[in-house]
Structure 1
Amino acid sequence: MEVLWFQMSLPGHEDCGNILVVYNIPHGIQGPNHPNPIKLFTTRGFPHQCYLPDDAQGHKVLGVLKVAWKRQLIVTVGTSNTTGEMDTVVWNKIHRKPEMDHSVTGHGYPCPNYLQNMLAELAAQGVTQDYMEQQ
């Protein structure tokens, strides 16, 4: 997980820059916590990115994302809902905004409730701001 900061603002967050989070996962062999241990897995579409506003709420989400990444909760190995491909890296019920705006796939900004929704999705995985403050 790599984090980069840019001065360009996101739609709906014109008062600040943006944070680009890049997930780069190489293909490999499934471990004991995956569906088919010892079998190869693929990583189509990686590296993958997402955008956050560079403000207090964006920093809060970034902090929780970092904990989730360390705990290996962001992605898992499974079957892709998009392609049906088995034994591939899939997102683990945590939505991202891979675009700065809605121009290509509709998964961009503005999205008024996105940061709150993302914190709720991370909390459902057991990672909260309260958890971070206890560490």
Structure 2
Amino acid sequence: HSRKQLNRKNPEDVVRRYTEKIKTAPDEDCTICMERLATASGYEGVLSYKGIKPELVGKLGKCGHMYHLLCLVAMYKNGNKDGSLQCPTCKAIYGEKTGTQPPGKMEYHVIPHSLPGCSDTKTIRIVYDIPAGIQTTEHPNPGKKYSARGFPRHCYLPDNEKSRKVLKLLIMAWDRRLIFTIGTSSTTGETDTVVWNEIHHKTEFGSNLTGHGYPDPNYLDNVMRELAAQGIGEDNLKD
């Protein structure tokens, strides 16, 4: 039993957990290796796993898309190997996707001011603070320092029911280490630095000079879509 727990991130265990074997492969391409599903995986000879023959085909449980099992293993090994799998066709997430956000803290509170376009509500201010540090094996350059510019970073949501839901989802994204990552800054070009990771935040409180402010009537819907793409949706919200 204890061995199983240790190996729950084994590539072949992860792939087997979310797929069912297909006896007769349909006459279509595996969109990972571009070979026919009825023939061997294009990764044959590059990867070998005990018990995963290159011609085995698996169907993902929820979405039903089919791939060579070996191709799914190769894809998993290229990702951040967190025990989750994402369908390359429809982006459905299996398991719990986690990121590589470095340590820090997230705080939030209500301030008695209104955002532009939200005149009748107070404002939720989120404060993210991440210090500089040393990269680990999950980061681009393990052992090398990373910088953390512009922290603490302040972000804003109008204090309404929908935003409070978004806040709960952002807390979950923070706990799963998905809000920041280490990479190259798109604004300064600096490498090995803490950057935002595909979940947009509003960092401007007053007039919208940067495009990262309000009014923006679509923002809450957009950020909920971005969170859902990271595997964090309303169905995750347990009170």
State the TM bucket, normalised to the shorter chain.
over 0.9
* Partner residue, 2:231: 126
- Superimposed CA distance per residue, residues 26-83 of structure 1 (whole angstroms, 9 cap, x where no aligned partner): 0001122211112110001111111001110110110000000011100000011111
Name the CA distance, whole Å, in 1 between partners of 2:113 and 2:129: 23
Partner of 1:49: 154
- Whole-Å Cα distance in 2 between the matches of residues 20 and 58 of structure 1? 11
The residue type equivalent to 1:27 in the other structure is: A
Match of 1:100 in 2: 205
Aligned length: 134
Counterparts of 1:83 and 1:100, CA distance in 2: 22
| Residue 163 of structure 2 corresponds to residue 66 of structure 1 | no
CA contact (8 A) 1:25 1:43 kept: yes
Could you tell me how far 1:102 is from its partner in structure 2?
3.2
What SS does the aligned partner of 1:57 have?
helix
Match for residue 113 of structure 1 among 218, 226, 237: 218
Greater alpha carbon shift after TM alignment, 7-16 vs 44-53: 7-16
Partner SS for 1:116:
helix
Greater Cα offset, 6-15 or 108-117: 6-15
- Equivalent residues of 1:99, 1:107 under 8 A apart: yes
Structure 1: which amino acid aligns with 2:159? D
| Contact in 1 for aligned 2:208/2:215 (Cα 8 Å) | no
- Contact 1:101/1:110 (8 A) holds in 2: no
Structure 1 ranges of 4+ moved more than 6 A: none
TM-score, normalised by the number of residues in structure 2: 0.54
Instruction: Find the counterpart in structure 2 of residue 21 from structure 1.
Output: 126
Displacement, 1:132?
2.2
State the secondary structure of the residue aligned to 1:61. Answer: helix
Please tell me whether the aligned partners of residues 61 and 115 of structure 1 are also in contact (alpha carbons under 8 angstroms). Answer: yes
Which consecutive residues of structure 1, in runs of 5 or more, have no partner in the other structure?
A: none
Aligned residue in 1 for 2:188: 83
Contact 1:101 1:107 in 2 (8 A): no
Structure 2 residues without counterparts, runs of 5 or longer:
1-105
Question: How many angstroms apart in 2 are the aligned matches of 1:118 and 1:97?
Answer: 10
Contact 2:135 2:142 in 1 (8 A): yes
Q: Does residue 12 of structure 1 match 2:117?
A: yes
Paired position in structure 2 for 1:36 = 141
- Taking only aligned residues, the RMSD between alpha carbons, in angstroms, comes to 1.3
Identity across the alignment (%):
55
- Aligned to 1:90, what secondary structure does the other structure show? strand
